[in-house]
Structure 1
Amino acid sequence: MVHPRQRHITAGAAEYVVVPAGRIAHVPADLSPVDAASLVVGGATALIALRDSVHLAAGERVLVRGAAGGVGTAAVQLAHAMGGHVTALARDRHAPMLTDLGADEVLDYGATTSDRIGPFDVIVDTVGTELNCYRSRLGRGGRMVTVGLSASALAAIAASSVYGARRIRTFSANPDSAVLRDLAEHVTSGALRPVIHSVYPMEDITAAHQAFERGGVVGKHVVAVSA
């Protein structure tokens, strides 16, 4: 429930919303509103994770866990554009799509255990489980960031800050205009494109939430709002 006189950051859907000027940017001319909506959260999260949190450099080995989701598909594309060697961990049936997005290698998470892969310079985790197991697959100087927060993830993040050289980072993406402009430039250059699972009209928003909760999403669900 959203109170009309209170400020809200997330978790609302409406025909009109007031946004601070420092949180908006122009959408590329050839990008539809639906495509643009699908990229804001996932794309900005992936960009901040790779560029600002783990500082990915060209030539580094990158593992993306949960690579078929909204953040994961963006992370695969952006890591590829930044010159990383990208290993995507997802369902085996998503391999053709992820390869097309720029993954150099796709591993079936149902048949792959952490001790059989790596080492990696960078790990981008969108799942939030087994963080210590995957942290052990970082090479010297490796960095790991997770956006899949759970009770076990928070414990692993806290523990990694106390012992060991490979700290697990996390953050909450709240992109400003500068980040959104950078994201738009990646879209314009062809380095980033939307991956949309389904589009729901506003009257079917309950079905959209139910589909999200069931999991198995490839890219993003989008709720189309008619002004």
Structure 2
Amino acid sequence: MSEAHSPQSTVEINTMKAVVAPRYGTGAALRTEVVGRPAPGPGEVLVRVRAASVCQGDVHLLTGTPYLLRLGFGLRRPKDPIIGHDLAGEVAAVGSEVTEFRSGDAVFGSVNAGAFAEYVCVQEQRLAHAPTGLSLEEAAALPDSGMTALQGLRDVGGLRAGQRVLVNGASGGVGSAAVQLAKALGADVTAVCSTRHIGVMRALGADDVIDYTATDFTATGHRYDVLLDLVGNRSIRDCRRILAPNGVFVSSAGAPGGNWLGPIVWMSKVLLATLFSAPKLAILLMRPRRADLEYLSGLAADGRLRPLIERRYPLDRADEAVQHVLDGHAQGKTVLVV
């Protein structure tokens, strides 16, 4: 019998390849190792991962910054060494209490950690059936970015058809999803990005594009009903100045603030400013929800949402993929093909 058709050994069945971070650091800290394959609990689904995307949360868990995160995720090294949040693949097995999925289903969703591996266990409520019309690589690029953009625009910003929205940081994973989602919600969209991303923003449907290297978006004289800020590179006063009378400033928690406290500094400024501001100022903290995954899946199936993928890497080059995102200025999403 040839090796290609020989049955799997017990070792092969019980193990898998995974990207492991034995210590905090940059992409160079990552290693591809053979580890034990997980088994699903009662409410969990074991997914055979086909693709996983890199998000900012993965960067924070790898670098251990802001340092305050280490109180919950491990003081000296990551508590869960297998990083990765977003994934897509096929159901390999289900726990006893799972009702929505069966073996072989194509799914996508998110976990707190562990997606950069051949298999991962996911809570049932954090999965949805993969969108028709998208590859699993594209589906893997949707969860974190798509849900963050959706909740920021629709739930926190209250964006409605006919309103004007500005997306600051439009070329990233969340921003590129936000441009498309805002158009799907019927809004007039202004995207803020650098020169090299202008063409892509227009292709995604942006009605207007502001090149921040040439124009200050807070000094154009235009007013917006929703300002989705994914960068935190302008003062709250500047951002508040371009809001319509009933406008909403939605701030991502990914804004800078130093290695110790990180976004907590920026969030505190926003919350303090709400005490002295007529326009609404709000903090965006994404919460994974199956209903939102299903909503995104529907838009993707209708052709109104397609993840922007800049680069693809095999699993054993995860160090390069994560470092690319860590270096900044990535366009759209970076995906690992497992």
Structure 1 or 2: more helix by fraction: 1
- Whether 1:150 and 2:256 are equivalent positions in the alignment is yes
Q: Which residue of 2 aligns with 1:127?
A: 231
**Structure 2 contact 125–289 (Cα < 8 Å) conserved:** yes
More strand per residue = 2
**Unmatched runs of 5 consecutive residues or more in structure 2:** 1-77, 83-110, 258-264
Rounded Cα–Cα distance in structure 1 between residues aligned with 2:139 and 2:207: 26
Q: What is the match of residue 178 of structure 1? A: 291
Q: Which amino acid in 2 is paired with 1:89?
A: V
- Percent identical residues: 38
Q: TM-score, normalising length from structure 1?
A: 0.91
Q: Which of 21, 26, 34 does residue 124 from structure 2 map onto?
A: 21
The CA distance in 2 between the partners of 1:167 and 1:30, in whole Å, is 38
**Cross-structure match for 1:9:** 112
Alignment-mate amino acid for residue 95 of structure 1: I
- The 5 Å alignment of 1:38-57 reads 38-57=141-160
Q: Any idea what the Cα deviations from partners look like across 1:192-212, whole Å, max 9, x if unmatched?
A: 111001011111111112111
Contact 2:299 2:305 (C-alpha < 8 Å) held by counterparts: yes
Q: For the residues of structure 2 that align with 1:157 and 1:203, how far apart are their CA atoms?
A: 40
Of structures 1 and 2, the one scoring higher in RCO (CA 8 A, sep 6+) is 1
Q: Within 2, Cα distance between the matches of 1:117 and 1:193? A: 32
Report the alpha carbon displacement of residue 126 of structure 1 after superposing the two structures with TM. 0.8
Match of 1:92 among 195, 198, 210: 195
Q: Deviations over 1:142-187 (max 9, x none)?
A: 0011213333522431222211112321232232111100010110
Q: Is the aligned partner of 1:66 residue 2:169?
A: yes
**Greater C-alpha Rg:** 2
**TM-aligned CA deviation for residue 115 of structure 1:** 2.1
Q: Aligned to 2:128, what secondary structure does the other structure show?
A: coil
User: 2:276 & 2:297 partners in 1: Cα distance?
Assistant: 39
- In 1: Cα distance, 2:309 partner to 2:331 partner: 7
Taking the aligned partners of 1:117 and 1:210, their CA distance within structure 2 comes to: 38
RMSD: 1.8
TM-score computed with the length of structure 2 as normaliser:
0.62
Task: Tell me by how many angstroms 1:28 deviates.
Answer: 1.8
Q: Indicate how the Cα distance of structure 1 residues 24 and 131 shifts in structure 2: closer, same or farther if over 3 A, else same.
A: farther
Mapped partners of 2:313, 2:221: distance in 1: 38
Partner deviation per Cα, 1:100-129 (whole Å, 9 max, x = no partner): 111000010111221224211110111022
Alignment deviations for residues 4-28 of structure 1 (CA, whole Å, 9 cap, x no partner)? 9xxx714752221111111111012
Count of residues paired in the alignment:
222
Q: Which amino acid aligns with 1:106?
A: V
Q: 1:9 to 1:190 in 2, by over 3 A?
A: same
